[in-house]
Structure 1
Amino acid sequence: MPLFENDNIVLLAKYLNVASMRQKLIAHNIANISTPGYKSLTLRFEDCLQDALNPDKVNLGTSREEHISNIPDANKLEPFVEKDNTSGMRADANNVNLEHEMTVLSANTIQYNLVMQRLTDNLQQLSYVITSRGR
């Protein structure tokens, strides 16, 4: 197993990519706030992540990489874009709500920063282990 394919590191990196994609999608929604008929888009990832990390699931222990495991592969978890087809309150059929988009943007930024800090901590721990090994 390559050094940086630790489950935590891969999952945290995946989440950072998703948060970055979500940031772009929110910016796209805000940019189209004046476009008649535009329907807001949402990036969904947390639901499939929660299903994959379901604590009710019994994880099969393995002693070798070749053994079959039911622990999810973070690389196989993919976000998907969902279109909000509800009609909104505007006459032009655009349903982008700026307040909602800004709230989601703020939450996404906070989550991104938290995950980035956790990833940094993991990499610093790994660096410490590598550099202190020879001592």
Structure 2
Amino acid sequence: MGLFDSATFQQLENGLKGAALRQKTIANNIANVDTPNYKAKRANFKHTLTNALQEQTIQANRTNPRHFEFSGQSSKPFFSTHSQTMYHHNGNNVDIDKEMSQSAKNQIYYNALTDRISSKFNSLKTAVRGR
């Protein structure tokens, strides 16, 4: 077992990865604000974190007996595309104000995670020094 194998470090690392993925998705939406027929996308991964914390596994809900049975752990995000709205005459639905707001919210989340990791490293440094 390594020094950084604790559940806290792993959860913080996964949070940072999720924030980075969300930021890439937001940046992609902003970059395509004028692209005809482009539909805004969202990175969704909090559902997986919530399920993993509550149940430790993810179970499939079968609505038909012909569906495959499966269960297990998954931490993969999924991307959703919002195609019901249209904000521009060219079929594009990227709302730049909403994207900038989401970007700022994600930046605050990312900064909170980096502060938490920094404090964990400072605690380790203090423990090693003995002061």
User: TM-score with structure 1 length normalisation?
Assistant: 0.77
What is the deviation of 1:89? 3.2
Note the alpha carbon deviations across 1:21-65, whole angstroms, 9 max, x for none: 2112111101101001001111111121122223xx5xxxxxxxx
What is the deviation of 1:110? 0.3
Distance 1:83 1:71 in 2: 26
Is 2:4 the partner of 1:4?
A: yes
Go from structure 1 to structure 2 and tell me whether the alpha carbon gap of 1:10 and 1:30 turns closer, same or farther (over 3 Å shift). same
SS in 2 for 1:53: helix
- Amino acid corresponding to residue 21 of structure 1 in structure 2: L
Is the 2:44–2:77 Cα contact (8 Å) retained in structure 1?
yes
Distance 1:49 1:8 in 2: 13
Distance 2:4 2:50 in 1: 23
Structure 1 residue aligned with 2:92, among 82, 94, 98?
94
Measured on the aligned residues, the alpha-carbon RMSD in Å equals: 2.2
- Structure 2 counterpart of 1:113: 111
Distance 1:89 1:33 in 2: 10
Is 2:16 the partner of 1:13?
A: no
* Structure with the larger RCO, 1 or 2 (CA within 8 Å, 6+ apart): 1
Distance 1:43 1:97 in 2: 16
- Structure 2 counterpart of 1:66: none
- Structure 1 counterpart of 2:63: none
Percentage of identical aligned residues: 32
- Structure 2 counterpart of 1:65: none
Give aligned pairs, total: 117
Distance 1:71 1:127 in 2: 34
Is 2:47 the partner of 1:47?
A: yes
Instruction: Structure 2 unaligned segments of length 5 or more: list them.
Output: 59-72
